[in-house]
Chains A and B, each alone.
Chain A
Amino acid sequence: MEQTRELLINMGPQHPSTHGVLRVLLKLDGETITWAEPDIGYLHRCFEKLSESKTYPQVIPYTDRTDYLSAITNEHAFCLAVEKLMGIEVPERAEYIRVMMAELQRICSHLLGLGAMALDLGAVTGFLYAWRDREKIYSLFERITGGRMLYNYLRIGGVRNDLPEGIIGTPRDGRDKADKTIWGFINYFESYVLPEWDDLLTNNRIFQWRTQGVAPLPSEVAIAYGASGPVLRASGVKWDLRKNVPYSIYDRFEFDIPVGKENGDCFDRWVVRVEEMRQSARIVKQALQWLAENPGDYIAPKLPRVLKPPKGEVYIRYEGSRGEVGVHLVSDGSANPYKVKWRSPCFTHLQLLPVLAPGHKLADMIAIIGSIDIVLGEVDR
């Protein structure tokens, strides 16, 4: 058989479907990818070096900017690390507010991840619908925290402010209150948005043809490559740090862990994310119930002006929107962290690209990048 010559091409860093500034070197045999190599670092902002010259509370805004689509979960991970190091007890109300915010943020982040994947595969409508619903969450977040995307809302030991008057709403709030009360949004989301996603894309034959069987990832490979979060669960591994290594107050909530099949493909990763949004909505509802029944104003303990954690070391595993966020914090007893290491799930997941891509068509590459849902801000930090 006649052999064609392999072609080396660049995909990115300005390619619109690479979610930011990712450059992937590809070797093509005709339309088929034979080799792929991501090239990262275009968005490196020295987060870890910078943190060493800041005090502990000053690091929190920077954690927002690592994974900027899921800021609350990053703040939560960092705050948990410092609290564990110092042995701070977080007020119960603050814990519930944190969990509720983190789960709303997870919905928000998955909406964008799914919307962007749909957009890359040619379904522009999905992206616009995702944007419409994220806007509602952002309106709520703006009223609670003052920021729309980067919040600096969590404090070490608690949260900055209590929920504003009337934002919780009542369980009867419907679609007309979706951007005014959290109950309104959750009801709108469960009764309207999720069925819409199912109709529009999940059960769409064209979308299924485009994603099913693309880039299957066996579960043992997923574990060996350190995959986590939806990517790991889509491969059939029922592992969620919120359940398996419970932190904060997640053991008080009832929710399921959605998993895919043994060889999870791009479609499984999609379905797992959609299901996760449903589970997050369940957690938010339980948190809202508690918050409505237990009003109070104790949301942050009294701490010294300058935080000086004792000498020591801590590693926090946190189930962020995209997978396991690891915060390795070393304290030397001074007011600045001695070392901050951010184990980012996107960075780890991007290593899977050379494993997943070979053998698939160039057009499937878009689906693969979309399905592992990377944020380059977190890859490069």
Chain B
Amino acid sequence: MEPLDIRPDLEALKAAYPAVEIAEAATGHFDIRVSLDQYLDVVRFLKDRGFNYPACITAIDWKDRLELVLQLYKLVVGSRQSPLVMVRVDGLPREGAEVPSVTPLYPGLNWHERETYDMYGIRFQGHPDLRRILLPDNWQGGHPLLKDFVDKRPRRPRLVRHRDTIVSG
């Protein structure tokens, strides 16, 4: 099986969008840092260049800002070592961030975007059905994976019986 080389694609991306920063991480994937305005165009460019498999989308809370991370790779039958690219949009506000949705390009990211909205509060414009997914629809407690999340629910009483009260036999 042939090793897959994605460097020509990344060079073409750099040529088409000079503002994009591309770096190879020590752990083997490629980081593609883009600005928010170019995010959708870059993802569309990558999709046209054959990055057909949507692995995941998530966000990272850096305490002063949010970063959106989209993981894609090429699924080519008969190839080996298809490197992963991470398209990253840094500097999103921690409250009320809005980014364009890539669900119309990759339908498999539908629920992953919903989860990112649920957990981090990033709204995806153009998403067909942006609702909470893991938490209930009427959840008022905020977005739990933000680092400053506090669980405001009242503490439940302990329901474990005390040891002495268990009657043996």
Interface residues, chain A, with chain B CB atoms under 8 Å away: 40-41, 44, 46, 48-49, 84-85, 223-227, 237-239, 243-246, 312-315, 317, 324, 326, 328, 330, 338-339, 341, 343, 347-348, 350-351, 380-381
Listed from nearest, the 8 A-B pairs whose CB atoms lie closest are A226-B108, A225-B108, A314-B27, A343-B56, A41-B134, A44-B134, A341-B58, A226-B54
Contact, CB under 8 Å: A84 / B27: yes
- A44-B134, A244-B80, A313-B25 as given contacts; A326 in contact with B71, CB under 8 Å: yes
Which residues of B sit under 8 angstroms from A317, Cβ to Cβ? 55, 73, 84
**Nearest Cβ on chain B to A71's Cβ, whole angstroms:** 21
Which residues of A sit under 8 angstroms from B111, Cβ to Cβ? 347-348, 350-351
Given A41, A237, A246, which contacts B75 in the complex, CB threshold below 8 Å? A237
Given B25, B106, B109, B145, which contacts A49 in the complex, CB threshold below 8 Å? B145
Which residues of A sit under 8 angstroms from B61, Cβ to Cβ? 339
Which residues of A sit under 8 angstroms from B35, Cβ to Cβ? none
**Nearest Cβ on chain B to A380's Cβ, whole angstroms:** 6
Q: A40-B133, A324-B55, A341-B56 are in contact. List 8 more A-B contacts (CB 8 A).
A: A48-B145, A225-B108, A244-B82, A314-B28, A315-B55, A328-B56, A328-B58, A339-B145
Contact, CB under 8 Å: A238 / B78: yes
- A317-B55, A317-B84, A339-B60 as given contacts; A223 in contact with B75, CB under 8 Å: yes
- A40-B134, A44-B135 as given contacts; A239 in contact with B107, CB under 8 Å: no
Given B55, B133, B136, B149, which contacts A326 in the complex, CB threshold below 8 Å? B55
Contact, CB under 8 Å: B52 / A226: no
* B26 interface hit (Cβ, 8 Å): yes
**Nearest Cβ on chain A to B55's Cβ, whole angstroms:** 6
Contact, CB under 8 Å: B86 / A315: yes
23 contacts between A and B (CB under 8 A): A41-B134, A41-B135, A48-B119, A49-B144, A84-B27, A224-B108, A237-B77, A239-B77, A244-B1, A244-B79, A244-B82, A246-B80, A312-B26, A314-B27, A315-B29, A315-B55, A338-B60, A339-B61, A339-B145, A343-B71, A350-B111, A351-B107, A381-B134
**Cα–Cα, bound, A239→B73 (Å):** 13
Interface residues, chain B, with chain A CB atoms under 8 Å away: 1, 25-29, 52-56, 58, 60-61, 69, 71, 73, 75, 77-82, 84, 86, 106-112, 115, 119, 133-136, 144-145, 149
**Nearest Cβ on chain A to B25's Cβ, whole angstroms:** 7
Which residues of A sit under 8 angstroms from B53, Cβ to Cβ? 223, 226
User: In this complex, what residue of A is CB-closest to B135?
Assistant: A41
Which residues of B sit under 8 angstroms from A315, Cβ to Cβ? 27, 29, 55-56, 71, 84, 86
**Cα–Cα, bound, A380→B111 (Å):** 12
**Cα–Cα, bound, A284→B149 (Å):** 45
**Nearest Cβ on chain A to B26's Cβ, whole angstroms:** 6
**Cα–Cα, bound, A324→B54 (Å):** 11
Which residues of A sit under 8 angstroms from B109, Cβ to Cβ? 226
